[in-house]
Amino acid sequence: MNTPLVIKSSMVEQTTVLAPQSDIDMARAPSMRDAIKSALESKPSKLVIDLSLVDYVDSSGIATLVETLKWTREAKVGLALAGLRPRVKTLLDITKLTALFTTRPTVEEACKV
Amino acid sequence: MEREPEISIRIFSDPHLLATVRGAIDGLAKCVGFHDKSRALLTLAIDEALTNVIRHGYGNQTQGMIWLHLWRSADPRGLRIIIEDLGKTTDPSKIKGRELEDVRPGGLGVHIIKETMNESVWEQRPSGGMRLTLAKWLNAEELAASYPAPSNPEQSNS
């Protein structure tokens, strides 16, 4: 059985940083979705999702990221993904979504976008 | 496919079990000779297939039965996988990945499966439910780097 998804949340000035601590699959994507929706309720100027500890994302996780893109565009909140590992980047590539997201190697760089 | 599979797993249609299954697939794929990126794609495709069964075949009910069988194949070298369930059946001709230009959540699983596997065939089981047959072969680099294939893997128990 897999463990629940722990998501660390922090603020860097007006940017909310969400950092899931493990893989995002069908079982864990709802927790990620809830955390993102909750973070957006506080109306940050930017949302950074730190994926540096995420080795695996399935299409449920990708769907959550696409929803996040839609929500942030509607709310006029900036969105950046940080620290993508190779497997996660591969998935974004094969689903042709890479170009839709702003990605940076580190949270620090993502916060500056 | 007559010989016994290298691995057979029966799981409930519970998403919390998927991580365990991914581990088993990744381990066998490494033995066969798939490199990291191929293993990631193979694992992802099977995970997506199981997710589709849970979501569409069993309507997210967690007590449905899913059978997963994996065979090593010698020619071409790689893995063959069969996934069977007793869930709701679907007309195989209607199983299609959505257009990627249509950016929206969901509907990516079939696209991922078709994009990453060398073969993917959906069919209705005569006794009910669906059967998905998948295959992925080693690429040239993986073949060159791998150990020689067993002379007759159909009879190999290793």
pLDDT at residue A52, as a whole number:
97
- Searching chain A, which residue's CA lies closest to the CA of residue B36? A87
Helix (H, G, I), strand (E, B) or coil at B30: helix
Write the pLDDT tens digit of every residue in A77-104. 999 999 999 989 988 888 888 899 999 9
For residue A72, which of A49, A91, A50, A46 has the smallest C-alpha distance?
A: A46
**Tokens standing for residue B70:** 């994996």
DSSP for residue A100: G
Architecture of domain B11-89+110-144: 2-Layer Sandwich (3.30)
For residue B129, which of B13, B2, B5, B9 has the smallest C-alpha distance?
A: B13
Interface contacts (A, B; CB < 8 Å): 73
Query: How would DSSP label each residue in B85-101?
Result: E-S----GGG--PPPTT
> Whole-angstrom Cα distance, residue B106 to residue A1?
24
User: What's the CATH code of the domain at A23?
Assistant: 3.30.750.24
pLDDT confidence bin for B151, thresholds 50/70/90: low
The reply to whether residue B40 touches residue A90, judged by beta carbons under 8 angstroms, is yes
> What is the domain count for chain A?
1
Q: What is the per-residue burial (b if ≥16 Cβ within 10 Å, else e) of B123-134?
A: eeeeeebbbbbb
* A93 found inside a domain: yes
Asked if B109 is an interface residue toward chain A (Cβ–Cβ < 8 A), one would say yes
- Chain B residues whose CB is inside 8 A of the A86 CB are 36-37, 40
Q: Which residue has the tokens 């078709």?
A: B114
For residue B55, which of B104, B18, B4, B92 has the smallest C-alpha distance?
A: B18
* A1 found inside a domain: no
* A22 found inside a domain: yes
Write the pLDDT tens digit of every residue in B109-118. 898 899 899 9
Domain that residue A41 falls in: 7-111
Mean pLDDT of each 10-residue bin along chain A, 113 residues long: 82 93 92 95 95 92 92 95 93 87 95 89
